[in-house]
Structure 1
Amino acid sequence: MHLKRREALLSLLGLMAQPAAQAAQDLQAWPRALQVPGGVARLSLGPGARRPQARTEEDVPLLVLGDAIEWTALVGIPLSAPPGEARIRVPREDGGVRELPYAIGPKRYREQHLKVAPGQVDLSAEDTARYERERAHLQTVMATFSELLPPGELRMRVPVPGRRSSSFGLRRVFNGEKRNPHSGMDIAAPTGAAVRAPLDGRVIDTGDYFFNGNTVWLDHGRGLLTMYCHLSAIDVRPGDPVKAGERFCAVGATGRVTGPHLHWSVMLNRAMVDPGLFIET
């Protein structure tokens, strides 16, 4: 009788420890969850013999990681998303659709108000036409959803050493006119400094763009993309594979910038999200 009571007590202690163990595991998960505009939601899809499919309300496919014990959908939350309830859709084997709701909390990003001469912010007709052509091309790049499977561990290496700004989400207001929020992390580094891949991936686009200058896009699989801008050198071509830690380009000051630095963006299901959620802070 005494032995049975002891076994029951040990079993109870084990059950009590599970939530703490799960919480510790969630804290170590990459990317870290932050359910605000520009953040990432981690939604459990439960167990299953096969990797489930999941999509946003706008029908954009989602990155699903895990195994038969538990699958998790990673949802990039756009900077433009309003606070409140959102949901994803998961097809069921019977042909129906399961909807999973999640909450988006408020997030106030910094604003910078500047007064400048109109000629410094207004584009000429020629520059506007170039920008529109480039934007149409980049829409196809950002829609990439390959069958490449990213590694189970999505903790990223910082692409280049240097001071990391907290500029993600910053909105500049020129002469009272709001511009799009800053959708990446700026890292101060000298021209020519090596930029290294944060994860294994494949080059899907390179080019010289009006605002971003020399740019490289990497595909890490299933809607997880990264972008590197203002480069002084590009060492790869579309289609090339890259390994985590491999140099593939160099810091520069091309495009519309005031000095050398790396602009690094992370995109998940076509939403720019905070790179800080993927790295050690």
Structure 2
Amino acid sequence: MHVIKVRALCLLVAFAALIAPMFASANTFSAAQLKTLNQPVPGGVAIVDLSGVNPSTQSPPTARYLDKPVLITRSDSGRWMAVVGIPLSASLGSQSIEVVQGGKKSMHAFTVRDKKYREQRITLKTNKHVDLSPEDLARYEREKKLQDDAYQVFSPQQPSNLLLDRPVKGPLSSPFGLKRFFNDQPRAPHSGLDFAVPTGTPVQAPAAGRVILVGDYFFNGKTVFVDHGQGMISMFCHLSTIDVKPGERLVRGQVLGKVGATGRVTGAHLHWNVSLNDARVDPAIFISMFTP
């Protein structure tokens, strides 16, 4: 009899582990939280109410924007909501996502508003820090492919929290979307937030997740990518040490590494970016520091 009870307990534990992701995917978020996140500008986030989509089913609909899968959650009122990342390159005006539920397709529109981002112009004495050598360019291209693949990971579980924690405590030194020009040559806009904190400062996971990529890259230095679920990906760059491994599951607040000055930088800081449906969006939105 004792053996039977032990086996039954083991089966119960295994069943609980099996269905845990289902419960994780059933998170709900308050209307107030979703309203805070709704900043539909290039580089922002659109919260799209999927009106007309059956809210009573436990199986969520799927959605795509610019042919990329979109995070779907349920509000505390029971309605399905899409959390859409808007790339900096997005056109202003009307945009739409395609939603599928039970084999039926529907289009749901939202409007992208304008936002002006700052510019920074830097003059260097030579172009040797502007133009890459053929060897460095080849390395960058190899590393970019790895990182692009990480940004496209889309796992079924929902993020543990949509309002994220700051990965470090410290002042911001460079905002998202900053347009940089080196010797009048344009560079890609700044895709994250920089925090001015010293080498050795612990970096904490802003939400639970799974480590999907670590590496030491030409531009980014020692880097960690974390999948928070349904296309929400965080990247942490220029670390001095990495304290996690690929495949490791992190709890919210767990230390994943320490701040450093590795890669193509002039001093110690943390660069943190957030991606939704493979679009880099302003992390300030998720820590309640966004300015329209």
Q: Which interval holds the TM-score relative to the shorter structure?
A: 0.7 to 0.9
Write out per-residue CA displacement over residues 47-68 of structure 1, whole angstroms, 9 at most, x where no aligned residue: 2412111111x22110001168
State the one-letter code of the partner of 1:146. S
1:228 maps to 2:236: yes
Secondary structure of the residue that 1:91 maps to in structure 2? strand
Counterparts of 2:257 and 2:67, CA distance in 1: 34
Q: CA deviation at 1:96?
A: 3.8
State the one-letter code of the partner of 1:83. L
Counterparts of 1:102 and 1:154, CA distance in 2: 20
Counterparts of 2:228 and 2:60, CA distance in 1: 18
Write out per-residue CA displacement over residues 174-196 of structure 1, whole angstroms, 9 at most, x where no aligned residue: 22221100000000111011001
Q: Give aligned-pair identity as a percent.
A: 48
1:193 maps to 2:206: no
In the alignment, what sits opposite 1:263? 271
Which one has the largest radius of gyration?
1
Counterparts of 1:213 and 1:61, CA distance in 2: 29
State the one-letter code of the partner of 1:79. L
Counterparts of 1:81 and 1:129, CA distance in 2: 29
Q: 1:137 aligns with which of 143, 146, 162?
A: 146
Change (3 A) 1:65 1:132: same
Conservation of the 8 A alpha-carbon contact between 1:30 and 1:277: no
Counterparts of 2:231 and 2:74, CA distance in 1: 16
TM-score, with normalisation over the residues of structure 2?
A: 0.83
Q: CA deviation at 1:29?
A: 2.8
Change (3 A) 1:80 1:215: same
State the one-letter code of the partner of 1:40. V
In the alignment, what sits opposite 1:86? 95
TM-score, with normalisation over the residues of structure 1?
A: 0.87
Number of aligned residues: 254
Q: CA deviation at 1:280?
A: 3.4
Q: CA deviation at 1:246?
A: 1.0
Counterparts of 1:48 and 1:211, CA distance in 2: 47
In the alignment, what sits opposite 2:112? 104
In the alignment, what sits opposite 2:23? none
1:149 maps to 2:158: yes
State the one-letter code of the partner of 2:128. G
Alignment of 1:266-281 (within 5 A): 266-281=274-289
1:179 maps to 2:187: yes
RMSD over aligned Cα, in angstroms? Answer: 1.5
Counterparts of 1:90 and 1:138, CA distance in 2: 28
State the one-letter code of the partner of 2:144. R
1:44 maps to 2:44: no
Counterparts of 2:99 and 2:56, CA distance in 1: 13
Q: 2:177 aligns with which of 169, 190, 196?
A: 169
Counterparts of 1:173 and 1:166, CA distance in 2: 14
Q: CA deviation at 1:149?
A: 2.5
